[in-house]
């Protein structure tokens, strides 16, 4: 894309070109009839008291420092671009399912349905955080993003930053919000001018040679379920040793 993208003088938002990966995701999203294939959703189980106001504040502070989470797609002169908004709206939704007959089952069904709602790429936000109450001190924190603004690793890091900021707010300490700088464009440019890129390009040209050209995406099956669960647990010394031994025997890195 040989265009110059400058600051929009009428709007304090920043206009940036899409990376090659984002361009591919954008086109694939347009071809996706389900409109949910690029939703990345997961939830965490929280057992214990939680201050929803401080959690909402923590999310807002992190999003303010994370440009990707303030981004939408904007079409300028027929080119899709990334528009990074300067302001942050309310970032946390509260849902109380604790009065349901089976709160846990109701919450999981609700999250499954929520994960299958499509994002409008031109409309902010392209993420959502939802705190679901299923008991007096039992919650699920559900989050969902569109892949065009981040991948699963990026979503995990953003969530981790939220928890660290929330913990600082709870302890009434000075809050040091991590900078969620998006360096994808810079890193892509460095890669494209590197020797590694030429080596990779030569490898894949050889690997893919002789393969029939793909002429249609019509046979692609729709996505049935993209929701996954993440939990944290501590391993004993014995369990950790066994895990390392398993990795060593099967010759892959922990």
Higher confidence at residue 132 or residue 10?
A: 132
User: What average pLDDT does this structure show over 109-133?
Assistant: 95
Give the model's pLDDT for residue 58: 94
Span of 75-84, 91-100, 138-147 with lowest mean pLDDT: 75-84
The 3-state secondary structure of the chain, one letter per residue: CCCCCCCCCCCCCEEEECCHHHHHHHHHHHHCCCCCCCEEEEEEEEECCCCHHHHHHHHHHHHHCCHHHHEEEEEECCEEEEEECCCCCCCEEEEECCCCCCHHHHHHHHHHHHHCCCCCCCCCCCEEEEEEEEECCEEEEEEEEECCCCCHHHHHHHHHHHHHHHHHHHCCCCCCCCCCCCCHHHHHHHHHCCHHHHHHHHHHHHHCCCCCCCCCCCCCCCCCCCEEEECCCCCCHHHHHHHHHHHHHCCCCC
Is the predicted pLDDT of residue 183 greater than 60, yes or no? yes
Q: Band the pLDDT of 228: cuts 50, 70, 90.
A: low
Question: Average pLDDT in the 222-250 region?
Answer: 71
Q: What is the pLDDT of residue 157?
A: 87
Report, as an integer, the average pLDDT of 9-38.
Answer: 85
Question: For residue 31, is pLDDT > 50?
Answer: yes
Q: Quote the pTM value.
A: 0.72
The reported pLDDT for the residue numbered 229 is 61
**Is 105 within 8 Å of 37 (Cβ atoms)?**
no
Q: Per mean pLDDT, which range of 41-45, 135-139, 174-178 is the poorest?
A: 174-178
| Residue range 121-135: mean pLDDT, rounded | 95
**pLDDT, average across residues 60-78:** 92
* 254 pLDDT more than 70: no
Is 38-68+86-206+224-249 a CATH 3.30.559.10 domain?
Answer: yes
Amino acid 6: pLDDT: 44
């Amino acid at each position: 894309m040989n265009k110059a993208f400058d600051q929009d003088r009428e709007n304090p938002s920043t206009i940036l070109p899409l990376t090659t990966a984002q361009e591919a995701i954008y086109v694939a999203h347009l071809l996706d009839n389900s409109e949910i294939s690029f939703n990345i959703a997961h939830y965490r189980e929280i057992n214990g008291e939680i201050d929803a106001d401080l959690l909402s504040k923590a999310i807002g502070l992190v999003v303010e420092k994370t440009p990707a989470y303030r981004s939408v797609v904007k079409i300028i002169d027929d080119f899709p671009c990334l528009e990074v908004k300067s302001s942050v709206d309310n970032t946390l939704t509260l849902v109380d399912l604790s009065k349901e007959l089976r709160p846990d089952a109701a919450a999981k069904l609700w999250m499954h349905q929520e994960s299958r709602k499509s994002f409008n790429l031109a409309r902010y936000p392209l993420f959502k955080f939802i705190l679901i109450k299923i008991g007096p001190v039992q919650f699920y924190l559900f989050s969902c993003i569109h892949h065009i603004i981040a991948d699963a690793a990026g979503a995990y890091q953003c969530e981790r930053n939220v928890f660290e900021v929330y913990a600082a707010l709870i302890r009434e300490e000075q809050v040091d919000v991590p900078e969620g700088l998006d360096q994808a464009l810079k890193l892509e440019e460095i890669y494209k001018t590197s020797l590694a890129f030429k080596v990779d390009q030569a490898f894949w040209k050889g690997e893919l040679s002789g393969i029939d050209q793909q002429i249609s995406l019509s046979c692609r099956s729709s996505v049935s379920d993209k929701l996954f669960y993440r939990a944290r647990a501590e391993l004993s010394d014995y369990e950790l040793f066994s895990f390392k031994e398993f990795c060593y025997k099967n010759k892959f890195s922990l």
